[in-house]
Amino acid sequence: GPPEQPAPHTGEFENPVTGIVAPARLDYTYTPGRAQSDHLDALAERKVVGERCPRCHKVYVPPRGACPTCGIATTEHVEVGPRGTVTTFCVVNIKARNLDIDVPYVYAHIALDGADLALHARIGGIPYDRVRMGLRVEPVWTEGAPHPDHYRPTGEPDADYDTYKELL
Ligand SMILES: [Zn+2]
């Protein structure tokens, strides 16, 4: 039949599309460079290695090859940890797809002994509502993993606030 004449639309749809599934895949080629390569090589031996700034003496973990404060190269390797202190944390209540961890669980900033930056990791081996600032923790490795699966309490007394307040 003859084509319909264009007419103004109300903006209302009988079956509106509210979402679509669009599978995506992103492949990356990452070149870690000298400092991070050394860090990754040490992790393969279950050690955590950072680098100390020759001027301000801060130990960066993971190392980026230069001190962002002083703007000079860092080259001195420093092994830190394996134990550390929870400086701050959050309770995760949303289950992530593809992540086989029951909620709630705790994700924390951990200052490894000897490091001047906190890294982050999951805390296990303790009820989520018992985790606290100052909690002393140690890594738990699983076979073949490139980094600790999580950190668990060591049983040591909590660290004094003054020992980690600069690392929050
Ligand atoms: Zn520095």
The mean pLDDT value for 2-30 works out to 88
1 pLDDT exceeds 80? no
H/E stretch holding 5 reads none
H/E stretch holding 49 reads strand 48-52
Token couple for 95? 């289950």
Distance CA 4, CA 82 (A): 74
138 pLDDT exceeds 90? yes
List residues bridging with 138 in a β-sheet: 152
Q: Which fold has domain 82-168?
A: OB fold (Dihydrolipoamide Acetyltransferase, E2P) (2.40.50)
**Residues 7-18: b if buried by 16+ CB within 10 A, e if exposed:** eeeeeeeeeeee
Domain boundaries, the chain: 32-80, 82-168
Token couple for 86? 């929870």
Please tell me the distance between residue 159's alpha carbon and the centre of ligand 1 in angstroms.
Answer: 25
Please tell me the distance between residue 40's alpha carbon and the centre of ligand 1 in angstroms.
Answer: 22
The mean pLDDT value for 136-151 works out to 93
Check residue 5 and give its pLDDT: 82
Check residue 97 and give its pLDDT: 79
Please tell me the distance between residue 165's alpha carbon and the centre of ligand 1 in angstroms.
Answer: 19
Check residue 98 and give its pLDDT: 81
109 pLDDT exceeds 90? yes
